[in-house]
Structure 1
Amino acid sequence: MSSLEFENLNVWFGDGPDRVDAVTGATFDVESGTSFGLVGESGSGKSTILRALVGLARNWSGRMTVGGLELRGYKRPRAFYRDVQMVFQDPYASLHPRQTVDAVLGETLKLHGFSDIDRRIKTLLDDVGLGPEFRFRYPHQISGGQRQRVAIARALAPEPSVLLLDEPTSALDVSVQAEVLNLLVDLRKERSLTYLMVSHDLAVVGHMCERVAVMQDGEIVELLGVAEMRAMEVKHPYTRHLLEASVGYNPREA
């Protein structure tokens, strides 16, 4: 069963002569429990698909479903935000600078109607590899990698089935990127999560995902499995260009 389905998705900004088509005719599905990657250069429409899904891009047409529920307009039912959560690119910008880690997680848990907040905060911190000493720190008191772990813990708090990952490691030092990616891999297995991941880094996608959609100028130009990508068994010249231009990408090591 597919957790996510997109059929002929179009997303645009502005109207009339000012209209900009950001996504055109995107069609793909993400099977429950799998990880799917959207790759392409900046401005190709990858993140716009995530924003349309969560209701942040209001102008869209086509069909989007989550767990069989067809979405309409830009307003989402309350249950949607419990089932679908997003991890953004910049962990510092996505955390309130005047809230402690405890407040960030506690507020999310209360918003979704959970009790036993104290126990759940301790469990969430443990699940993302942060000890109790981080609980009452502010974002500026912890590193970028630790902030992103807090952001992941916040996304996990409502116990979602789907995580949307928007370049989750691109703002981090290279030395900690692998740690965060491996954490996400482990969490998907432990919690049977479904991932829809945006990245410009083919090595990251090769490590995280089973299937990939390659985007160029708002359109999906190729759908392929990661095994095909590793073997350079691609059909579209743009996909081949991305693979060849990817700095440090070794299909045998991804």
Structure 2
Amino acid sequence: MSMIEIDGLNVWFGHGPDRVDAVKGAAFTVEPGESFGLVGESGSGKSTILRAITGLAPDWSGRISIGGRALTGHKRDRAFYRQVQMVFQDPYASLHPRHSVDQVLSETLQLHGFRDIDARVVRLLDDVGLGQKFRFRYPHQLSGGQRQRVAIARALAGEPEIVLLDEPTSALDVSVQAEILNLLTDLREEHKLTYLMVSHDLPVIGHMCDRLAVMKDGEIVEVMAVGALRAMQAQHPYSQSLLEASIAPGSRSA
């Protein structure tokens, strides 16, 4: 049974003449323990798929199934949030500026119904490489990488099976990006997590993922194994252009 199954997914914003079709007929599966990437230019629809899964994009049709359970509408119950969590792009915006790290993690643990809060906070901080010295600091007292580690700890608090990663390193300094990607790789193995990761950066996807889907103008144009990506064996012309741009001197896969 696939952990994530997307079939014929359409997502749109607005109605009538103002309607914008952000995702059109997307289909892919993510297997247990797999890391699957969605890559494409800005506006290609990749982050919109994550929003549809989490209920943040209310207008959609098709099939979204999590662990064999089909989702409907845009309301998600507590069981969903125990199974699925998300790490956002901007770690500063996703943390309450007036809540300490301890408050962020303790409140999340309480919402998930855990009782041994103190021990779990300490364990979460250790898991993400921060330790207890960061427990009572506030977001403005942390670097970007440290804030993202707190955001990752918060996502892990409910012991999810699936973590959705929306450009988790793009707001960080280049020197810190590799540290966070390596942390995510280690956590995936340690906690037997399944990842669905969005990025515009092909090298990041190549480092983190087993398979990937390439998106253009709301459509998936190709699904490939990361081995094909590394071997420069993309089939679709758009995928080929992204690959070429990612290795051109001084350029990025936008």
Give the TM-score, by structure 2 length.
Answer: 0.97
> For residues 248 and 156 of structure 1, do their structure 2 counterparts lie closer, same or farther at Cα, with a shift above 3 Å needed?
farther
The residue aligned with 1:180 is 180
Report how many residues are paired: 249
**Deviation digits for residues 151-207 of structure 1 (CA, Å, limit 9, x no counterpart):** 000000000000000000000000010000000000000010000000000000000
1:128-147 correspondence runs (5 A): 128-147=128-147
1:69-95 CA-to-partner distances (Å, cap 9, x unmatched) read: 000000112100111000000000000
Structure 2 CA distance for aligned equivalents of residues 231 and 65 of structure 1 = 32
Which residue identity does 1:172 align to in structure 2? L
Note the 1:33-182 alignment, pairs <5 A. 33-182=33-182
Q: Write the letter of the residue equivalent to 2:2.
A: S
- CA displacement 1:10-58 (0-9 Å, x = unmatched): 0000000000000000000000100000000000000000000000000
The match for 2:239 is 239
Aligned residues with identical type, % of pairs = 73
Looking at structure 2, the residues matched to 247 and 233 of structure 1 have their Cα atoms a distance apart, in angstroms, of 14
Cα distance, 1:248–1:187 mapped onto 2, change above 3 Å: farther
Shift of 1:247: 5.0
1:168, 1:247 → 2: CA distance?
A: 21
Gaps of at least 5 residues in structure 2 are 250-254
1:214 alignment partner in structure 2: 214
Runs of 4+ in 1 over 6 A off after TM superposition: none
Partner SS, residue 61 of structure 2: strand
Task: Determine the C-alpha separation between the residues in 1 that align with 2:33 and 2:114.
Answer: 24
Question: In 2 relative to 1, CA 248–8 (structure 1 residues): closer, same or farther, beyond 3 Å?
Answer: same
Give, in whole Å, the separation in 1 of the partners of 2:28 and 2:216: 15
